[in-house]
Structures are given as C-alpha cells and as structure tokens.
Chain A
Amino acid sequence: MKHIVLVGLALLIATPAYSQVVRVGVHAVGVDHSEINDARRVVGGGVGGLLSVRIGRFGLDVSGHMASLDSADGGGDAFKVLQGDVRLNVLLARGFAIEVGGGRRAIDPDFAATEVGLGRVGILSELPISSAGGFWGRAAYLVAPQFDGGGDAGLAFEVGFGAGFGTRNGRFRVRVEYEFQRIDRKVNLSEVPIQVSVGKLGLDVGF
C-alpha cells in the first residue's frame, strides 16, 4: 500500500498539469472578527479547504474554514466559527470576470456572535503569471445579508487578494490569500457593525 501511494505520488508530480481545471487544497486560517466595537474583537485560527474549478470561461470556487476564536483582549466570548463561501464567476475579458455567489458564517455556541448569511455580486481579476503561479484580487458587494439576531445592513462589501506559487507544471501550489469583509449592520436604528479579516496560507493540488 505504501508503495502504491509513493508511485501514485511520483506519477502525480511527474505529470504536467498545464491544462488542469480543478484544484483542491487545504489551508490554515487566521481570523480577526470584530463586532459592535473593538471591545468585542476576537481572533484565532483554524483550518479550511478549497475546491476550485475552471472550465472554459466559467469558474467555481467553493471554500470554507473552521476556526476557534477567543477574545483578543479578554473582552469577548470565545466561540467557534464555521464559514462557507461559494463563488461562480464568468470571464468577460482577459483577467476580468464577474462573480456571484453566497456565503454563510455559523457561530457556535449560538448567539456568541452574529451568524450571517449573504449573497454577493462582484468582480474577480485573476492574472496567471506563468504555469508556476499567479495573482488574483476580488471585490464584491454583499447582497441582503441576513442575521440570526435580525437587523439589516446598509453598506456591506468584501475585498480580497491572493497569490499562488508552485511547481512549473502547475501540479502543486502554495497559496496565500486575504479577505476583508465589512457589514454595517443596523438593528432598530442601532449600529451593530461586523468586520472580519481572514488570512489563509495553504497548499493546493491541480488536476
């Protein structure tokens, strides 16, 4: 069995993957989650995963992570966050695509922080530099966020960027990514803003 795994791994490395359209990966995440004010800021880390598919002009990114967060300065409650995002993009020009999707952030235990469900419409700029790596950046308007504690959002958006660098045949790639999300939530005219920063560092494999 060990030999089979080694041979399979060797074949995987040796096979060029210039035309791969599917990438899967895992990553470590660092999360900075703030809500209402800086006193309720929590930070922590966890793990996540990624599935990315590119077929012709269309692309699909599914990612998620789970992180354990704790108060940065002893002011908030510790909780776990489980977040999933789906993004579907259509390439309109070289390096420019529009992107739609949705996402949900669940909190455990309930009401330790605000759970959010949202849609998104934005743009994605993806620039492959070579078979060994590339860069991407994205920005999206968050459509009609829903909160478990009620309320609605005035301004809600997210921005992010990332970079990948790996083997020349494109099989393996180290990926670094940053996402920033701001949701200006209001509940009964009270401002309850949410702001999340997520840094990701991981490895993915292309097929």
Chain B
Amino acid sequence: MRQVLALALLVLAVPIGVGAQQHPDVRRARQLYEELDLSQAIVAARRALNSPLIREDRILTWELLGFSYGALDSTARAVEAFRELIFLDPDREPDVNMVSPRITSLYASALGQVLVVRRVRMDGTTFVAGQGAAAIAFEASRSARTVTRVIGDGVDMLIDSQLVTGPGVVFWRGLDEAGEPVPPGQYQVVITAIEGRNEFGAPLIVDVAHGSLDTLPHLSSLPGYTEQPEFVSPPRNWRPMGIAVLFAGLAAGASIALENPDLSGSPRNELAGAGVLALGVGLALSLKRPDPQPVQANIRYNRLLREQLAARNLEIANENAMRRRQIELTIMPVASP
C-alpha cells in the first residue's frame, strides 16, 4: 500500500506537458500514465512510437517513457528514453522543482552520455557593421569541437571553430566573406559539436536588419563658451560739452579780442546765437549714449571661438559623412516555431 502511494506521488509529481499531440496512441499512453498504470502506459507509448508521429508527439512519448521507466526503477531504459528525448529536444529537461531527484538524476545521466548542443541563446543587439558583434551563447553537453556556420541569403560561411567544455560563446560580426555587411534577412546560425564520429548541430534563426547611423548635430556654439560683445558703448561723459565750450570759447574770445576797435559796437547776436546753440549741441551729445566702440580683445576672442567652432563642425561633418557610409546592423533572434 505504501509502495502504491509512493508511486502515485512520484507519477503525479511528474506532469507531462500537454502539447498539441494528436495521435490517439499518445493520448492513450498519457491517460494510462495519469491513471498510474505505468506498465500499460509504456506499452501504449511503445506502440505509439511505431506510428508516424509529429515531432512534438515523439518528444512527449519519449519523455513519458523516461518518467515511467524511472518510476518503475528501470534505470537503463529510463536513461535510454531520456537520451532519445535529449536528441529530439536538447533544451527540454525536467523541472527540478517538479520532479523527483531520481528522475533528474536519470536525465543528467542520459545527458552525460550524448553529445548535443543546448541552450543556444542570444540577446538582440545593434552595432555598426565592422565595429561590433553579436554574442551567441551555447552549451555543449560534452567536451567537443564546435564549428559555427551562418547560412542564408547567399551566405554560407564558417564563422567560428573552438574547443568547448560546457558553456561557450560565438561572436558573429554580421559580415560576409568579403567583409561587407550581410544583406538584411533571416539567417541560420548552426553550431555543430563534433566529437569523433559523433556530431550534433543546433540551429538558431536570427533576423538581420539594416539601419542608418544617427548623424551628429552641428554646433552653433561651444559648450561653456559664449561670444563676447565686440562693440561696447562707453559710459556717458562730458567730453562733448567740454569740446563745445573749448571751440566756442576760443572762437568767440578770438573774434571779440581781435575785433577792430573802430567796429566794436556790434551786439554780436550771431556769435551769441551760434555759441548758445553749439553749447546746446555739446550738452545733447554729452547726454546722448556714446557710439559703441570696438573691443579688440573681445573681437580676437570671438574670432578664436568661431575658428574653434568651425573646426569642430568640420570634424562633425567628416564624422557624419563617415556615418552615412556605415550600416547599423540589428540582429535579433527569431523565436523557434
């Protein structure tokens, strides 16, 4: 009774993924497995494997067999079933939180006996062609040489070869054999692990898109530097009034002093009128804001600033010209169907 209870707990703890299986034998095997009739479940599963199954059904069937054999303590057969499962879907593995340690152990044992490439992953990335690379991570189940090829849109090239034990990384620069960016489209990155006569390839489909680089904006000023006023109005002063007094005084004094004594009876209306008006002009010019005067130091400073700005903008223009010739590659993994 206790054995039956333990078996029930073991089986119930192993959920069989419900996929899109259609084959009746697979459904029957699953139903028997859930009813804890493991022997019949194994028979039904074996029968199902003799039928033409879709990949998903085949994966589920081998998984069910592995779990059933494991529950019945049939270690060798369980490992064999898990090996088949791993070949079919290397990334499918029992959830350690859901299955018994025994099942996990059997799966690990099976994994150590086969050569597969698993967990092929990459993050979408964007880089300038020739100046970056997309990193593709993977894991080889055993020590092996891995070769990586990229296939698609007229491209079939080897991009990497390395000895790997456990996790590895491949970098793809997105260039073809001529060193030019590959055309946009879908590519298959196939990582093949080779060990003696054993080999296993795992594909990763990626989408390559082309983009143009953002150009740099031209500068209208240098940060932290501002142009100085080249003309500055000096403060008001009384110099114009002084000059008016000087000129009018000298001329008036001279004309009065040098008058002919015989003709000195003139009331000098013209002199008085012109003198007053000239003094008025002097007063007005003194009160008026003086003309802005050039400030040579500021002019030289601004000239230097403009030269620096022009030089920087020339550098930006050259940089932009280069950027316009460059291609930005965006490589994104495509979700497996």
| Chain A interface residues toward B at CB < 8 A | 30-32, 34-38, 41, 43, 125, 127, 129-133, 135-137, 139, 157, 159-165, 168, 174, 176-178, 180, 182, 184, 191, 193, 195, 197-201
Contact = CB atoms under 8 A, between A and B. Distances in A.
Contact of B269 (A30, A35, A139): A30
B25 to A, nearest CB: 100
Closest 6 CB pairs of A and B: A199-B270, A178-B274, A180-B255, A38-B265, A161-B251, A163-B281
A164 B252 CA distance: 17
A161 B262 contact: no
A163 B277 contact: yes
B251 A132 contact: no
Contacts of B264: 38
Interface in B143-157: none
Given A133-B240, A193-B262, A197-B266, 17 more contacts: A34-B263, A34-B266, A35-B263, A125-B247, A129-B243, A133-B285, A135-B282, A161-B247, A161-B278, A165-B284, A178-B271, A178-B275, A180-B255, A182-B260, A191-B262, A195-B259, A197-B255
A182 B258 CA distance: 8
Contact of B260 (A160, A164, A184): A184
B265 A41 contact: yes
A109 to B, nearest CB: 22
Contacts of A127: 243, 247
Nearest to A160: B251
B278 A30 contact: no
B268 A193 contact: no
A193 B263 contact: yes
Contact of A32 (B254, B269, B275, B282): B269
A154 B244 CA distance: 32
21 contacts: A32-B270, A34-B265, A37-B262, A38-B262, A38-B263, A38-B264, A130-B285, A130-B290, A135-B243, A135-B247, A139-B254, A159-B258, A161-B250, A162-B274, A163-B281, A165-B284, A184-B260, A197-B255, A198-B270, A199-B269, A201-B274
Contacts of B258: 157, 159, 182
B337 interface: no
